[in-house]
Structures are given as C-alpha cells and as structure tokens.
Amino acid sequence: MSVEILRRHPDLPRPTGPVILAILDGVGWGPGDDGDAVAKANKPNLDRLWQSQPTRTLQAHGLAVGLPSDADMGNSEVGHNALGAGRVFRQGAALVNDAIASGRLFQGEAWQWLVEPLVGPNALPHAALHLCGLLSDGNVHSHIDQVFALIRGADRAGVQHLRMHPLADGRDVEDPSFDRFVAQLQAELDAHNARGRDYCVASGGGRMGVTMDRYEADWSIVERGWHAHVLGEAPGFPDVGTAIAALRKQPGGESDQKLGPFVILGADGQPVGAVRDGDSFAFWNFRGDRAIELTRAFEDGPDFKAFDRKRVPAARYAGMMQYDGDLHLPRKFLVEPPVIERTSGEFLAALGLRTFAVSETQKYGHVTYFWNGNRSGVLAPGLEEYAEVPSDRISFDQRPEMRAQEITDLVERALSHQPRPDFVRLNFPNGDMVGHTGDFAATVRAVECVDAQVGRLIALTEQLGGVLIVTADHGNADDMWMRDGKGRPVIVNGAPQPKTSHTLSPVPVTILDTRNGTAWKLREDLPRAGLANVAATLFNLMGYEAPSDYEPSFVTPA
C-alpha cells in the first residue's frame, strides 16, 4: 500500500548530515552490580554519551512490544518490529487466537508439514501427532481453548492417532486446578473417540518439575519431561485420573506445579504415547522462555550435552511460535509474525530519502526483514541499500569482537560516497549473541568492542554534522546472573549461576545532535515510552512530522 507524504516539521529543521541509528543488541540498563556486564565494561564512549547527551530509557519487553504481559522478555524480532513500525503490534496469545480464527494456522506450511506423514495412504499405521504444553486458561504461556483448536484441527486433517502430554499449571491459575482442566480435555478427546478416533492423554506432570525449565536453571526438569513424553519412561498408570490421585499423595503433590511425571499405560502394560520414528510433535505454548529447552532437546544435534537423551526419534517438531529468533528455535512454528504495514522505511522512500542498513548475518534480518514489517527484500530499489557482513561460524564467546568493526567500516564507506544516505541503521549483535553464551568475561569484552565502534560513529557524526541515536532492542548483557525472587544471585558451587537469556531491563537511548542551535528537548510526559516511540522521534530529528497513527516522539521543540 502507498503511504502519505510526511509534512516538514514546523520547528525542527532537516539536518545537512545523516541521521544514524545504532542498535546495540542486548545492551540494556541493568542492575549495575557485579552481574551486569554492561556496567562492568570499560566503555568510555557510551559513558560519555550517557552523561553528557540527552538520555532516557525505553521499555523493550512485555506490553511495550506487543507481548501478552510485562512478565515477558523482549526479543530482537518484536523489538525491531516496534522500532521500524513505530507502533505496537499484537504478539503471543492474541496473535495465536487470530491465526486460529482466520484459519491461517491450519493452512500454514508448518501445520501441513506436521500432519502430512500422518494422513493418507502412505501414512504409517500407528504414526501419531503428539501435542504438549501447559494445560490451563492462564493465557501467559498457553490457553486451553487454543489446545482444543489444535485437537479439532488434527481431526479435520484426518489424523487418526493423537497423543496429549499436558503439564499442570497452578501458577498462572488457581492451585490446584489441573483436575478440572484435565476433565475438560478428556471430554474433548472422548467426543472425537466416539467418532472413531484414537485420541488420549499419554503423559504429563507439573510445570515446575517437568519439561518447563527456563534459563537453563535446571536441565533435569527437561530431562524428566523428555523421559515421560518422548521415551515413555515415568511412573505408569492406567488413566490420567488415577495418575493425578496417586501423585497428589506424594510430597509436594498437593500443588499442581510440583506434580511428578507420569505416563499412561495401555492394556499391554506399555506406554501409549512414546514418540516413535515417523511421528510428529508440537509444543503448544506461545511464550518462549519455558519452551526453548525442550525445543533444543528435539532439534540440537549430537553435540547436545544437557542430558542423555538415550533415544532421539526421527520425528517432526514444531512450536506454536518461534521461541528464539536469535537462535532460530524452533525451525518450524505454527504462527507467523504479524502483518505490519506503513513502516518507517515506506515513509522515508516516499519522501525520496536514501537509507543504508547493515549488520552481520546474525542480525541482518532484523535491520531489514523485521524492521520492514516482516517483509523480505529492498522496499525501494535505488533509494535503499542493504549490506550483510558474514558472521563467524564459531561460538561467539571465542571472538566477542564478532564483526562490529566491519559493520562500522561499511557505514563509513556508505557515507563517503555521493549520493550519501540520509538515514543509516545498523545493529551490533555482540551484547546479545555473546551474552547468550553465559560467559561473563567474554560479554564484558563484547560490550567494550561495541563501545569502540560507537566512538567511531560519534566521530563520523560530528564530521558530517549529523545526528546519532544509540539504543538497543532488548536487554541481555546487562544481567548475566540467575536471580531469586528478591533479585539476589542464585549460587551454585559457590558462584553465581550464569544466565544466558534476555532480560526484562529497559534500554537506554541517547541522542547526539551535532547541529548548532537546534532547539529540542526530551519530553517529560512519556514515562512509559518504548521502542515503538523511536520511529516518530527519528522523523522529527530528520525534520518531518511523524504519521498520526505512530507512537509519539519523545523529543519536542524546546
């Protein structure tokens, strides 16, 4: 769709030099203690910017980037969606509901890929579709209505054998309540079985002890889930009601969260739902933090070391969503990212302004595809240039510098030729990709490497009389410790346990405007501004009014 031509701002002039947006991936505003690699890094350029130039923080997680709640960590995909689109688009639960209601989920390539080997004349006689996830209506990780939709979708597709692996909640809903949700699930399965299907519960357990670990806090939780869901190895019972009743009598069993693992046995005494070659397996949680580790157990190759999987079936695996876009986990997912139109790139192209976008392979898609509203390719040939620097194929803690220097080299090169770009956006992946390794010293070094490149960008901006905006898409390097409910480090073997995940931290944003006499200031009436407010701010600093439907700019004429 075409976009309107933006009007010139009545009070803020267009700069003669470029506007440069530097996204320091994973560099949030953390607790500032010994677990904060950003705080501990020697970063004179960032420190000088934060202390001498207009600086504030932005929300980069939860509701600010379209996730279901503020308990949800941000990620690079939704972060760059918000940065480029200037608005917040629904993610997570709402997005899944939309995909189910419209039929897109069941028409999608991933769903068709899952059910294809299970139906038709070439299907193996006992090949099954396995569905696993948190069974409740808490709507934080999942929702039971979405589970029912998947069951009905399997029936419509002709899937004859379905095995359910529900996990008890008791955290996002009342505790206990698993019996009630299981009764609803059993009624749904019975309705299909009355029409000749073979649908049943195969295994399960409580979320805090089975399958749903996060941040690699305790891989034994995932191991118990793997043994129950995949191998069929756990205490066996003839039906799920008997299983729950027996597990309630065990220590901690009064809580759904702590129910032990179980499997359901058939008349032959064998588990009814072990995963076999030729089966398909889908994890129905839409929230990623407690889905990543099971996904890795299915998708990581022979170098997987977290626990002994004993047997890895040749089964097709998909998640409800992509749980980690940085690591591309899982490779197949049922719900695509949102459709986003009227992105900032479209408005810049309509004005005839030139754009240069660059990162290395790890984040190249974020400054292009995700920035442009989940669209591949150049939006405006002749006005846009995209450049990708090949990433190293080694663990990033081994070379925390990554390709930051080469990214800056390409920015300098692009700005040294005419016609010069009006807008440059770049992403330094170091803070995020090295942060994911959990190596604190390497992550400190990664931040220091990025800081050196920020120094080069400052000099370049001053030389050309432009504007430099430095921010991030989410936190990661800013908190490298696992913490308890009071924010204290979790100590294992005498040392804080490393954290490899994103964080809930806000991210800093700083504006260096090298023009003389340009009178603007940070607004004080937007305390909850987030990443989506950046696009309107960019337009203002480039001398244009922002689109009326964008989140407001956080700068205003002085």
Residue 475 · residue 504 · CB < 8 Å: yes
Structure tokens at 261: 């693992």
Contact 37, 484 (CB under 8 A): no
Return the closest-CA partner of residue 63 out of 55, 50, 74, 52.
74
**Residue 498, token pair as written in the block:** 């490393």
Q: Which residues have CB under 8 Å from 243's CB, separation 6+?
A: 204, 235, 237, 262, 264
Report which of 229, 262, 223 is spatially closest to residue 245, judged by C-alpha positions: 262
Task: Say if residue 139's pLDDT is above 90.
Answer: no
What is the per-residue pLDDT for 172?
Answer: 81
Residues 72 and 111 in one domain: no
Residue 525 belongs to a domain: yes
| Exposed/middle/buried for residue 303 (C-beta within 10 Å: 0-12, 13-18, 19+) | exposed
Distance, CA of 104 to CA of 121 (rounded, Å) = 26
The reply to whether 314 and 434 lie within a common domain is no
In this prediction, residue 249 carries a pLDDT of 95
Residue 7 falls within a domain, yes or no?
no
**pLDDT, average across residues 273-295:** 95
Q: Is residue 240 predicted with pLDDT exceeding 80?
A: yes
Q: Pick the last residue of a domain from 271, 291, 319.
A: 319
Please tell me the predicted confidence (pLDDT) of residue 326.
65
What confidence category does residue 526 fall into, taking pLDDT thresholds of 50, 70 and 90? very high
539, amino acid identity = F
The residue among 70, 103, 89, 44 whose CA lies nearest residue 503 is: 70
Q: What is the pLDDT of residue 375?
A: 84
Give the chain's domain count.
2
Residues 77 and 119 in one domain: no
Which residues pair with residue 132 across a beta bridge?
Answer: 165, 283
Digit-coded pLDDT (tens) for 425-437: 999 999 999 998 8
Q: Any residues with CB less than 8 A from the CB of 37 and at least 6 apart, and which? A: 431, 435, 440, 443, 444, 446, 447, 477, 478, 480
CA 148 to chain centre: 25
Q: Are residues 387 and 253 in the same domain?
A: no
- Same-domain pairing of 109 and 214: yes
Q: Can you spell out the DSSP letters for 195-252?
A: TT-EEEE-EEEETTTSS---TTS-HHHHHHHIIIIII--S-EESSHHHHHHHHHTSTT
pLDDT value, residue 482:
87
Cβ-based neighbour number of residue 107 at 10 Å: 10
In tens, the pLDDT along 186-199 reads 999 999 999 999 99
CA distance 463 to 466: 8
Lookup: tokens for 270: 């064998």
Q: Are residues 406 and 540 in the same domain?
A: yes
Q: What would the pLDDT profile of 385-417 be if each residue is shown by its tens digit?
A: 999 999 998 889 999 999 999 999 999 999 999
| Residue carrying the six token digits 């806090």 | 217
Confidence of residue 8 (pLDDT cuts 50, 70, 90): very high
pLDDT at 1 over 70: no
Residue positions annotated with a catalytic role:
76
pLDDT at residue 21 tops 90: yes
pLDDT higher than threshold 90 for residue 532: yes
Planar angle of CA 479, 329, 301, nearest 5 degrees: 105
Residue 83 and residue 101 in one domain: no
Residue 451, in any domain of the structure: yes
Question: First vs last Cα of the chain: how many Å apart?
Answer: 35
- Give yes or no for a contact between 463 and 16, defined as CB atoms under 8 angstroms apart: no
- What does the pLDDT look like over 202-229, one tens digit per residue? 999 999 899 999 768 789 999 999 999 9
Taking residues 504-532, report their average pLDDT.
94
Distance CA(505)–CA(31), nearest Å, equals 8
Instruction: Judge if 230 and 282 occupy the same domain.
Output: yes
Please give the helix or strand (H or E) that residue 150 lies within, else none: helix 144-157
Task: Determine contact, residues 213/293, Cβ cutoff 8 Å.
Answer: yes
Answer yes or no: are the C-beta atoms of 345 and 379 closer than 8 Å: yes
Residue labelled with tokens 């649908």? 199
**Range from 75-79, 288-292, 323-327, 364-368 carrying the lowest mean pLDDT:** 323-327
Q: What is the CATH number of the domain that holds 215?
A: 3.40.1450.10
CB distance 445 to 493 below 8 Å: no
**pLDDT, averaged across the chain:** 95
Q: Is the pLDDT of residue 291 over 80?
A: yes
Tell me how far apart the alpha carbons of residues 423 and 353 are, in angstroms, rounded to a whole number: 8
Omega before 176 cis (within 30°)? Answer: yes
- Name the amino acid, one letter, at 355: T
Residues 85 and 104 in one domain: no
CA–CA dist 343, 357 (Å, integer): 15
Q: Quick one: pLDDT at residue 516?
A: 78
Query: Does the pLDDT value for residue 517 go beyond 80?
Result: no
CATH number at residue 503: 3.40.720.10
Q: Are both 80 and 119 inside the same structural domain? A: no
Element (H, E) at 404: helix 404-415
- Domain range spanning residue 264? 93-319
Give the span between the Cα atoms of 228 and 243, in whole angstroms.
13
The verdict on pTM exceeding 0.85 is no
In this structure, the answer to whether residues 273 and 145 fall within a common structural domain is yes
Average pLDDT over residues 99-125: 94
Task: Answer yes or no: is 141 within a domain.
Answer: yes
Tell me if 60 is assigned to some domain. yes
> Mean pLDDT throughout 73-100?
92
Distance CA 408, CA 426 (A): 9
> Is residue 17, in this structure, part of any structural domain at all?
no
Q: How far is CA 461 from CA 21, 417, 521, in A?
A: 11, 15, 19
Does 23 fall in a domain?
no
Element (H, E) at 144: helix 144-157
Contact 90, 554 (CB under 8 A): no
Q: Please report whether residue 75 resides in a domain.
A: yes
CB 26 within 8 A of CB 493: no
Query: Which residue is it, tokens 């419509």?
Result: 156
| Distance (Å, whole) CA 431 – CA 449 | 9
Judgement on whether residues 383 and 463 belong to the same structural domain of the protein: yes
